[in-house]
A and B are shown apart, each in its own frame.
Chain A
Amino acid sequence: MAAAAPAVEIPAPRDSAAAKIVRTVTRGPLHLALIAIGGLWLVPTIGLFITSILPASALASKGWWQVFSHPSTATWANYDALFHNSGLIQALKTTAYIAVGNTVLVVIIGAMAGYAFAWLDFPGRDWIFIGVIGLLVVPLQMALIPMFRLYNTFGLFDTWYGIALFHTAFGLPFAVFLLRNFFVGLPKDILESARIDGANEIVIFLRLILPLGLPAIASLAIFQFLWTWNDLLVALTFGQNTTPITVWIAGQLREFGTSIDIIAPASFISLVVPLCVFFAFQRYFVQGLLAGSVK
Chain B
Amino acid sequence: MTAGGITAEPPIAAAPPPSAGPGRLGRYLTSAIFLAPALFMLGVWMVYPAVYTIIRSFFGQTGFFGHWVGIDNYKTLFTTSTLTTAIKNNAIWVAVVPALVTAIGLVFAVLTERVRWAVAFKTVVFLPMAISAFATGVTWRIMYQQDPGLGAVNALGKTISGVFSPAGVLSSASPSIPALQSKGGALVLKTATHPGGVALLGLTGIAPDQVPKSAVQAVQPAPKPGDVVGAVWRDFKPGGGKVGVLEKGEVGLPGVTVELRDASGKTLQSTKSKPDGSFDFSKVPAGTYHAAIGAQTFAKPFGGYAWLGPNLIVPSLLISYIWIWAGFAMVVIGAGLASMPRDVLEAARTDGATEWQTFRRVTVPLLMPVLSVVFVTMIINVLKVFDIVYALAPQSEYAKANVIALAMYFAAFQGGGNFGVGSAIAVFLFLLVIPVLALNIRRFKRES
Seen from chain A, the residues whose Cβ lies within 8 Å of a Cβ on chain B are: 2-4, 7, 30-31, 33-34, 37-38, 41-45, 47-48, 51, 59, 61-65, 108-110, 112-113, 115-123, 125-126, 128-130, 132-133, 135-139, 141-150, 165-166, 168-170, 172-173, 176-177, 180-181, 184-185, 188, 191-192, 195, 200-202, 205, 226, 229-233, 236-237, 246, 249-250, 253-254, 256, 260, 263-264, 267-268, 270-271, 274-275, 277-278, 282, 285-286, 289-290, 293-295
Q: Is the CB of B30 within 8 A of A120?
A: yes
Further contacts, 12 of them, CB under 8 A, given A38-B121, A128-B39: A45-B128, A123-B28, A143-B49, A181-B9, A201-B30, A201-B34, A254-B395, A264-B138, A270-B132, A270-B134, A271-B130, A286-B331
Residue of B nearest to A168 (CB): B41
Q: Is the CB of A38 within 8 A of B44?
A: no
Cα of A7 to Cα of B343 in the assembled complex, Å: 8
Q: Is the CB of A137 within 8 A of B142?
A: no
Instruction: Pick the interface stretch among B198-206, B269-277, B406-414.
Output: B406-414
Q: B-side binding surface: helix, strand, loop or mixed?
A: helix
Cα of A195 to Cα of B422 in the assembled complex, Å: 52
Within the complex, the shortest CB–CB distance from A46 to chain B, in Å, comes to: 10
Q: Is the CB of A130 within 8 A of B3?
A: yes
For B108, list chain A residues within 8 Å (CB).
Answer: 37
Q: Is the CB of B386 within 8 A of A232?
A: yes
**Residue B69 at the chain A interface, CB threshold 8 Å:** no
Instruction: Pick the interface stretch among B214-222, B252-260, B360-368, B434-442.
Output: B434-442
Q: Is the CB of B35 within 8 A of A112?
A: yes
What are 24 A-B residue pairs whose CB atoms fall within 8 Å in the complex?
A43-B143, A44-B139, A45-B127, A48-B139, A120-B27, A120-B30, A137-B434, A143-B53, A144-B409, A144-B413, A147-B45, A168-B45, A177-B7, A181-B9, A185-B10, A232-B134, A237-B409, A246-B134, A264-B142, A267-B139, A270-B134, A274-B130, A278-B129, A289-B331
Number of contacting residues on B, CB 8 A? Answer: 109
Within the complex, the shortest CB–CB distance from A192 to chain B, in Å, comes to: 7
Q: Is the CB of A232 within 8 A of B390?
A: yes
Residue of A nearest to B112 (CB): A34
List which B425-444 residues lie within 8 A (CB) of chain A: 425-427, 429-430, 433-434, 437-438, 440-441, 444
For A118, list chain B residues within 8 Å (CB).
Answer: 15
Within the complex, the shortest CB–CB distance from B9 to chain A, in Å, comes to: 5
Cα of A201 to Cα of B331 in the assembled complex, Å: 38
- A141 and B12 in contact (CB under 8 A), knowing A63-B149, A110-B38, A169-B41? no
For B64, list chain A residues within 8 Å (CB).
Answer: 149
Instruction: Pick the interface stretch among B80-88, B150-158, B162-170.
Output: B150-158
Cα of A112 to Cα of B31 in the assembled complex, Å: 9
Contact of A289 among B139, B328, B440 (CB under 8 A): B328
Cα of A236 to Cα of B373 in the assembled complex, Å: 31
Q: Is the CB of B346 within 8 A of A7?
A: yes
Cα of A260 to Cα of B23 in the assembled complex, Å: 66
Within the complex, the shortest CB–CB distance from B62 to chain A, in Å, comes to: 12
Contact of B7 among A128, A133, A268 (CB under 8 A): A133
Q: Is the CB of A142 within 8 A of B143?
A: no
- A170 and B45 in contact (CB under 8 A), knowing A120-B30, A233-B405? yes
Chain B 1-40: CB-based contact to A (< 8 A → 1; otherwise 0) = 1111011111010111110000000011011101101110
For A180, list chain B residues within 8 Å (CB).
Answer: 7
Q: Is the CB of A263 within 8 A of B138?
A: yes
Contact of A63 among B35, B150, B430, B434 (CB under 8 A): B150
Residue of A nearest to B343 (CB): A3
For A34, list chain B residues within 8 Å (CB).
Answer: 111-112, 115, 121
For A37, list chain B residues within 8 Å (CB).
Answer: 108, 121, 125
